[in-house]
Structure 1
Amino acid sequence: MTGVRINVWAKPEPKSTVTSGSRISLAGVAVIQDRSAHRLQKAVWTLILTIAVAFLGVGIFTSFSHFRNPRIARAWSESRPATLEFPSFTVCHMYGVKKSVVLNMTRPNTTFEDWRMRGLELLRWEEFNLDQLINDASYSWEEMVSGCRLAHHRCADVGTISPVVTDRYGLCHTFTPAISVPHTFLEPHLILHLAESDPTLMSSEHQGWMVALHSRNLRFSLTAAYLGLTTVLELTRGSHTDVVLRKERNTRLNIPEAPCSGIDTPQDQVVLCHERCLNQLSLSGRNASAPTCRLPWMAETLNATACTSHEEFMASTLGARRLFNSSVSEYSMLQALDRCRQCPTSCQTDAYVHDNPTRVVLDISPYKVRYMKHFEDGIHTLITMRMRHGEQHIQEVFDYTLSTLVSDIGGYAGLLVGGSLLTLVEILEYAILRKCR
């Protein structure tokens, strides 16, 4: 017969007095609350929890500091549309004017070197005005571009060509495509052949051409180039330049340190405001009045009459030689633009960037045989462009957000004290019950 053994020496277990809300489920807290635990054990756990809570406080403080003062990071993504939007491009002659025409419009015995040094001072103002010089001496599209094909179409058939006057290069010409181009692997989308049409300009005098790439809704100007809204390529004579482009859409954050005015702000509006700001800064710096004659590159003077004397031109440009002058410092322009912070800037801009262009001597380029067989010897250059499949999107974001803050606090709490969100509920319940007793 099996009996039940009774230990008469065993102490009866005390009835648990723990009720809901009387204990917190954190490592070590149960030991501290246990009245039967040894004092040394309680002291050790108290020290451990004190250190852990101190580190937790430092971590939470650091997290809130980062949350209040986040840094700006960039997030990259890429889309692959079925067709590609080829950018507009503006072509300028680096000299700006035709040598033969300028020498016929200047004083007797003037050399081209004299013109480069003294400029409009040598113009026969009694016979010509500034508008006549720009119209007659500047290069037309046909006088610069000997061949232009976009996606196997003549450029004139698939886009528009419009003139634009700049104060450095005179009359330039912008081609704006009206079509999209398909994705290609090796074949270029654009084939642009430039040739010198003035027979009096010697090869040693030639400085080449400039091609500026920009979005279709932007009117080219040097201010747009200074603002970083265009991609500029300088083409030297006797060379073939091969360029691979990719479209980038940049989205900025509107923050007080660098405010922007939304993603729908037209870029032309941004450029026009900066141009007017530069003119106002120049006027205020020299204590002068507004221009008295028409400067074709300044929109606010287009309704004025043409400049008919060198003195009138210099007064309108505030004593600065602002036409066909390549010695203007870009650093001074950038410093002046930095003072135009009242002008709006778009939070979203499109840019066409390129890898390092491949440039070879035109005589050894295979494209010369393919595209320039019918051209005679002379001053030429060739540029081919292909757009890379895929548009890159670059967006500014804060590197520390609310979700990052919650994650960091949860990580600190879990690592240091083994807590969670439910632990906070338990602590709140414990505090309420202690107060009610």
Structure 2
Amino acid sequence: MIRPVVIVCSLLLTLSYGRPYFDYDACEGENVGRGYYNLAGERSYNRNVELICDFKREMGYDYDRVMDIAWIKLGDGGRCSRAEAIRGDIDVNSLDGRSVLTIPRCDDRDYGVYRCFGTVRQSYRNLGRYRGQSDHVFMDVMFMPDDFSGSSRYARAEALKTSKVSHVRPRGSALRRAVELARAAQVAGALSRHPLRRLLLLLRLGITMSCLILTGYQSLELLNQFWTEPTATAFSRLPADRMPVPSVTVCPNGRGLEFREMPLNESSMSEWLWNHTVSLREMVVRCAHDCSPGPAGPLELADRTADSPTGTWHSWAVDRAYSTCHTFTPNISMIDLLDVQRKKRFNPIEAAEWDLFQLEIRMKPSGGMSRISASVFFHRANEAQVTNPGFLSFEPSPRIYLEPDDIVTVRLRSELTQRESLYRAPCLDQAGYDRSLCLTRCLYDTRAARYGCRSPQMIDSHPHLPECRRAEALEMTLTLTEEAECGCPRACREHVFIATVSDRQYMAPHETSDIGYILVLAGRQPHMETTESAAYRLVNLLSEVGGYVGLLVGVSVMSLLQLLIDLAERLHDWCRRDRVLPLTVG
């Protein structure tokens, strides 16, 4: 009866030894030694490599045998968690605790750290159990020959790691490594308890904290400088041919008529102002060069324009201060104007000053009116802001005051300012945009919407509305809140003409002619351009902050990138912690 039981137990033990047993993690167990490799062949294209793990030589003969030997190739840095399958048509031969992995025609893609692992089995005398006690052991083979690659790509210290949990007694080279590690731990512990060591650690901690505080303070200073948006200003003076030809507006003084003076039987205030003020033909006697109005000047309200060889005159009514103003808009460039003057000179050499305009203005119109004065404005190609139309933030155009019998010499210069729109000071970069004209149009629209009528100056923008006959409608002023609601930001491109009286002479009493003369000159470099741009941009902030961080803390873009890659790899390993390793068995 005992003999059949013994036979059955022997068969069960034999079957248990013959079946592969791979239900354990290859990253666990004890590193009992290091394998080696043999290269065969003389040329790179037919070289074969044999990776050998000899557990019996490393562990001694106290154990029966190591079975279920399998192979894996560790990942970058010798990481078992990132193991990969072995490439190529390989061959594994395992016998009596010794396993040989043969890789034919190996190349640099096969370089790396290979791990062979198995189970140490020791039989019990107790036949009640069919399987013996199992211990997991492994050996690493570093295959990175210098004659192939010249240098190792993986750190030897990270490739070969010794496990802490194992009850297999080390022998041979494993015992020597354990003793060396124990001695190194004792030395490290002794140094950590030394007062000098503690002082150095405190000094290092203090320097690190100081660098971090200094880096944070300097970064805040740079950030504050970035938010203030400093600007850089560049000035350049240009010759006269780069300056645009200015427009000229002539307005009579002392002829302003109040709307209360208008008779009740008058149907149109615009026609009444037009008939009782100085017309263009009466006021502008002569304008050089070739800018005098034609003989058929504007005599009626329906016809308020007059052509000249070099431009167009336009007459328009002003709501306040003046009655009617006359504006000349040139249609030639400064280059054409300077060429005309060069042809008239005997000496073709560049002149020190250029004659732009010569105006003769009559100061005593017909009809028995008394002598008056005039205001002359130089501006861009639009209507001049001769008076405040009814908003608070008003910037009037500079004017030249001209009395009867005056001979005035004016030097004109041009200033063009181009600025960049900033967060603290936004502006509108649009061709032909002017904030004063935008506010004026907003004032007209508000008057038309609130009172349903138009002032004399609104005859072009709102011709379909009736005339305003109420004082509050004509004297309406926009408040600051209404100005903000108009949506008229500052212009990014501002062009102004600055006129300076350099000489003023008076005619003798016996030479009076009730005509004022004005001569407009321009120097050789009358045009100045000013460019304002942001001096401290985001790229400057990043570069300076990065410089301080790299200098004081030692952090760079590459180190941050490497940190992100390491974190991604750790997350990838954690997500694949339950995956099955790619084993290679014989």
Identify the TM-score tier after normalising by the shorter chain: 0.5 to 0.7
2:175 maps to what in 1? none
**Local SS of the residue matching 2:469:** helix
2:229 maps to what in 1? 71
Pick the aligned partner of 1:198 from 352, 365, 370: 365
Counterpart Cα distance in 1 of 2:209 and 2:485: 51
| Preserved contact between residue 429 and residue 493 of structure 2 (Cα < 8 Å) | no
Trace 1:145-156 onto structure 2 (pairs within 5 A): 145-150=284-289, 153-155=290-292, 156=308
Counterpart Cα distance in 2 of 1:20 and 1:421: 27
- Cα 1:353–1:61 change in 2 (3 A) is same
**Local SS of the residue matching 2:378:** strand
Counterpart Cα distance in 1 of 2:264 and 2:530: 52
**Local SS of the residue matching 1:318:** helix
1:318 maps to what in 2? 472
Trace 1:94-243 onto structure 2 (pairs within 5 A): 94-96=253-255, 119-126=258-265, 129-150=268-289, 153-155=290-292, 156-168=308-320, 169-182=322-335, 185-198=352-365, 200-202=368-370, 206=372, 208-216=373-381, 218-220=382-384, 222=387, 231-237=397-403, 238=406, 240-243=408-411
Q: Which runs of 5+ in 1 are unaligned?
A: 1-18, 23-33, 98-115, 308-312, 323-331, 365-374
TM-superposed CA distance for 1:405, in Å, is 0.4
TM-superposed CA distance for 1:187, in Å, is 2.9
TM-superposed CA distance for 1:381, in Å, is 4.3
**Local SS of the residue matching 1:174:** strand
Counterpart Cα distance in 2 of 1:58 and 1:318: 59
Report Cα offsets for 1:291-340 as digits up to 9, x if no partner.
2x7634354542245x5xxxxx532x4365x5xxxxxxxxx957558624
Pick the aligned partner of 2:452 from 271, 290, 305: 290
Counterpart Cα distance in 1 of 2:555 and 2:199: 28
Report Cα offsets for 1:54-85 as digits up to 9, x if no partner.
11112123333444x33353533537475431
TM-score (norm 2): 0.49
TM-superposed CA distance for 1:171, in Å, is 1.7
Report Cα offsets for 1:115-144 as digits up to 9, x if no partner.
x7xx34344443674233222222222322
**Local SS of the residue matching 2:418:** strand
Q: Which runs of 5+ in 2 are unaligned?
A: 1-154, 159-190, 293-307, 339-350, 574-586
Report Cα offsets for 1:16-39 as digits up to 9, x if no partner.
xxx7999xxxxxxxxxxx989854
2:132 maps to what in 1? none
How many residue pairs are counted as aligned between the two chains? Answer: 347
Trace 1:33-44 onto structure 2 (pairs within 5 A): 38-44=197-203
Counterpart Cα distance in 1 of 2:489 and 2:266: 44
- Cα 1:228–1:356 change in 2 (3 A) is farther
Counterpart Cα distance in 2 of 1:164 and 1:346: 26
TM-score (norm 1): 0.63
TM-superposed CA distance for 1:426, in Å, is 9.6
Counterpart Cα distance in 1 of 2:271 and 2:222: 67
**Local SS of the residue matching 1:75:** strand
Report Cα offsets for 1:397-421 as digits up to 9, x if no partner.
344311220232144346645x473
| Preserved contact between residue 400 and residue 499 of structure 2 (Cα < 8 Å) | no
Pick the structure with more strand per residue.
2
**Local SS of the residue matching 1:263:** coil
Report Cα offsets for 1:80-103 as digits up to 9, x if no partner.
475431121221112246xxxxxx
**Local SS of the residue matching 2:354:** coil
Q: What value does the CA root-mean-square deviation take over the aligned residues? A: 4.5
2:548 maps to what in 1? 412
1:274 maps to what in 2? 439
> Which amino acid letter does the alignment assign opposite residue 379 of structure 2?
H
Pick the aligned partner of 2:538 from 386, 402, 423: 402
Trace 1:378-393 onto structure 2 (pairs within 5 A): 378-386=514-522, 389=525, 391-393=527-529
Q: Which has the larger radius of gyration?
A: 2
TM-superposed CA distance for 1:431, in Å, is 7.9
> Which amino acid letter does the alignment assign opposite residue 212 of structure 1?
F
TM-superposed CA distance for 1:165, in Å, is 1.6
